[in-house]
Amino acid sequence: MRTARLTIDPAFTIGPVDRRLFGSFVEHLGRCVYGGIYEPGHPEADPLGLRRDVLALTRELGVSVVRYPGGNFVSGYRWEDGVGPVGDRPHRLDLAWKTVEPNTFGLDEFLAWATAAQVEPMMAVNLGTRGVQEACDLLEYANHPGGTRLSDLRRAHGAEQPYGIRLWCLGNELDGPWQVGHKTAEEYGRLAAETARAMKLIDPSVSLVACGSSGRGMPTFASWEATVLEHTYEHVDFISAHSYYDPSDGDRASLLASAVDMDNFITEVVATADHVAARLRQTRKLKISFDEWNVWYQSRVQGDLDGRGWVEAPALLEDEYTAVDAVVVGDLLITLLRHADRVGVAAQAQLANVIAPIRTRTGGPAWRQSIFHPFALTARYARGTVLRTEPVAPTHPTKRYGDVPVLDTVALHDEESGELTVFAVNRGTDDLPLDLDLRGLSGLHPVQHLSLAAGDDPEAVNTEAEPDRVTPRELPTGTVDGDRCAVRLPAVSWNVLRFAPLH
């Protein structure tokens, strides 16, 4: 059996972890809002109709920032429909998901939910069917203190103080032909730049995200980013990236190597942004907002949409995640952390029911899907500074990505507590002995090894009847010899290795 090696030295750093990497996403899609985070009349609902059980799971998940209200939904959305007396709000057709939107949940309810969930809101404006004026109106409603028509409207609706929303997305996936209001890079770039300039006149403290590609496989990928950034570079703070990984073809080795694709995607977006910066003589480095990522059984979507009339909150995209999917999600988080110097925001899509770590039954309980666990533990233990490591590991072949290392890792050093945490994935179907060289961190001893292993039961899922079938287990910590520590990573597993100073 071949051993992998990892040398960890706190002198070699990538950068501090931004808590905004642990973001999530709430879209008006299926039962994410209605029957997910919001369900008046549910036994767990608070007076506003927010589900307390889902709020508790959201806090346990460790989510830092939540993007809202879409997604494809936002590209046809009129934000004004979702504010004011609920009885006066219109029902509308949502063309993105072919449903009826009742608008009983809107901006003010979302902000109340975000406060209760202890998360930062990240708003998207509609640049599909709407433009500069409507984006400015929304910002005035949300962030202007008072004394104008829209800020006073917010106050009349009960929010005396401005919401102070800092993060704003300039539309959603406008490179995608499926998007209502789809645009060329040239059209979108100009619109995004004009919208950004106007929004910063209203509130210079906002941080703006220009739409990048909705996937690395898009035919316009990279040229889209280059053109959009030629127009927007000086006005925006982030360029977005979206990526989903579909297990449907059953090619497990390739699925387990999804992080290789995400890693390449980030490197290529960074290269493109830096190229534009060089052309424009800009010295400020642009960051990525990786604001949609996850495992998603995308091939099932059409079945969800076909043969259904216009209804409210149907069950859509309610993927049930396996133990293998959880290992992949853990590995995608490792990748985001390893790029902490250039990825400043990330949001897993989505939070509840729709391709989500939290599942609910309308009128029934809420439970944790398998993918809940790597997210929650990464958000809890990824503290301090990401270290640069050079793992040496055996490789194995995959159809989609060629030969890939069986080991993927990231290490973090928390200067305050002195603790070191290593997140490690073994993509291989055999146990992997890992030899850690902790030079420069002598005096640390292993305190915990948590492992979510999919080797024995790769297709295991958590259900309402069996909500804890897939959970991380405690394994014996590694054996220490001087500065070295030997551990064993189970076949197809995601692991947290924690080390603390000896007192």
Q: Could you identify the residue written with the tokens 């492992």?
A: 451
Residue 128 touches ligand AHR, criterion: CB under 6 A: no
Residues 6 or more apart whose CB falls under 8 angstroms from that of 190 comprise: 231
Nearest-approach distance from CB 98 to ligand AHR, in angstroms: 13
Q: Does 173 contact ligand AHR by CB under 6 A?
A: yes
Q: Is 243 in the site for ligand AHR (CB under 6 A)?
A: no
**Residue 366 and residue 38 in contact, taking contact as beta carbons nearer than 8 Å:** no
**Closest C-alpha among 284, 251, 273 to residue 397:** 251
Query: For ligand AHR, what does the binding mask look like between residues 431 and 460, x meaning CB under 6 A?
Result: ------------------------------
Question: How big is the CA angle at 403 (ends 344 and 338), to the nearest 5 degrees?
Answer: 15
Q: Which stretch binds ligand AHR (CB under 6 A): 70-78, 103-111, 447-455, 486-494?
A: 70-78
Catalytic: which of 140, 292, 318, 419? 292
> Residue from 24, 126, 151, 172 that binds ligand AHR (CB under 6 A)?
172
Q: Is the peptide bond before 71 cis (omega within 30 degrees of 0)?
A: yes
Residue 373 burial (10 A CB sphere; 0-12, 13-18, 19+) = buried
Query: Distance between CA 353 and CA 45 in Å, rounded?
Result: 17
Q: 410's torsion region: left (phi>0), alpha (psi -120 to 50) or beta? A: beta
Stretch binding ligand AHR (CB under 6 A), from 45-53, 64-72, 109-117, 259-267: 64-72
Pairing, β 92-94 against β 99-101: antiparallel
- Cβ proximity to ligand AHR: between 211 and 404 the closer is 211
Residue selected from 71, 76, 82, 490 as contacting ligand AHR according to rule CB under 6 A: 71
The window from 68-76, 113-121, 262-270, 407-415 that contacts ligand AHR (CB under 6 A) reads 68-76
Residue 130 contacts by C-beta under 8 Å, 6 or more apart in sequence? 78
Q: Which is nearer to ligand AHR, 74 or 420 (CB)?
A: 74
Q: How far is the CB of 1 from ligand AHR (least distance, A)?
A: 40
Quick one: 63 or 349, whose CB is closer to ligand AHR? 349
| Interface size with ligand AHR, residues (CB under 6 A) | 10
- Active-site residue (options: 27, 39, 134, 173): 173
Active-site residue flag, 419: no
CB of 245 to ligand AHR, least distance (A): 13
- Residue owning tokens 């790769």: 458
Rounded Cα–Cα distance for residues 378 and 410 (Å)? 11
**Residues in a beta bridge with 184:** none
Asked if 123 and 66 touch (Cβ cutoff 8 Å), the reply is no
- Kindly state the smallest distance separating residue 19's Cβ from ligand AHR, in Å: 22
Residue 318 binds to ligand AHR (criterion: CB under 6 A): no
Q: Do 489 and 478 contact (CB within 8 A), yes or no?
A: no
Among this protein's residues, is 173 annotated catalytic? yes
For residue 348, the Cα-to-chain-centroid distance in whole angstroms is 2
Q: Which of these segments, 69-77, 98-106, 192-200, 431-439, binds ligand AHR (CB under 6 A)?
A: 69-77
Q: How far is the CB of 444 from ligand AHR (least distance, A)?
A: 40
DSSP string computed for 122-137: EEEE--SS--HHHHHH
On whether the CB atoms of residues 67 and 354 are closer than 8 A, the answer is no
Closest residue by beta carbon to ligand AHR:
71
Binding segment toward ligand AHR, per CB under 6 A, in 65-73, 140-148, 158-166, 273-281? 65-73
Look up tokens 């500074």; give the residue: 385
Compare residues 67 and 342 and give the one whose CB is closer to ligand AHR: 67
- Is residue 214 a contact point for ligand AHR (CB under 6 A)? yes
349 scored as a contact of ligand AHR (CB under 6 A)? yes
- Return the axis-axis angle of helices 258-280 and 223-232, rounded to nearest 10°: 40
Residue selected from 58, 72, 322, 421 as contacting ligand AHR according to rule CB under 6 A: 72
Least distance to ligand AHR, CB of residue 7, Å: 38
Q: What would the DSSP string read from start to end of 80-93? A: GGGSS-GGGPPPEE
Contact of 457 with 386, CB cutoff 8 Å:
no
Q: With binding defined as CB under 6 A, does residue 27 bind ligand AHR?
A: yes
240 binds ligand AHR (CB under 6 A): no
Strand 432-437: give its sheet, edge to edge. 4-7, 432-437, 484-489, 479-481
CB closer to ligand AHR, 35 vs 49:
35
Q: Does 225 bind ligand AHR (CB under 6 A)?
A: no
**Interface region with ligand AHR, contact rule CB under 6 A, candidates 6-14, 67-75, 153-161, 332-340:** 67-75
350 binds ligand AHR (CB under 6 A): yes
Residue 131 and residue 138: Cα distance in Å, rounded?
Answer: 11
**What are the catalytic residues?**
173, 292
Which residues in this chain contact ligand AHR in the complex, by CB under 6 A?
A: 27, 70-72, 172-173, 214, 292, 349-350
